[in-house]
Amino acid sequence: MSWLVLVVAGVLEAVWAIALGRSDGLSRLIPSVVFVAALALSMAGLAYAMRDLPTGTAYAVWVGIGATLTVGFSMITGADPVGPLRVAFLAMIIGGVIGLKALH
């Protein structure tokens, strides 16, 4: 259960990061509300997962999922450039997350 909660928390990390970017410095209401709600839920999920998982592993997986999804979303929407090296480096992050899960 902790791993599932951690994955959801990682997805919510991407949600709050994207919402923060769209909030224009927290001056736009809807993205700001999404940011605060996703941030709170993401942190709560990370805290829950850390009850059973080692801190370093949980945090690295959480950040890896959030960062990969945030960059992937930005690439899909055209906010970030897409290139073979960028995709390769994202694949390395994903590989690291999978490796941490496999070793636990």
Return the domain boundaries, the chain.
Answer: 2-103
Residues 6+ apart with CB under 8 A from 81: 75
What is the per-residue pLDDT across 28-85, written as a single tens digit (0 to 9) for each?
999 999 999 999 999 999 999 999 999 999 999 999 999 999 999 999 999 999 999 9
Q: Tell me what pLDDT residue 93 has.
A: 96
Q: Are 6 and 53 in contact (CB under 8 A)?
A: yes
Give the pTM.
0.92
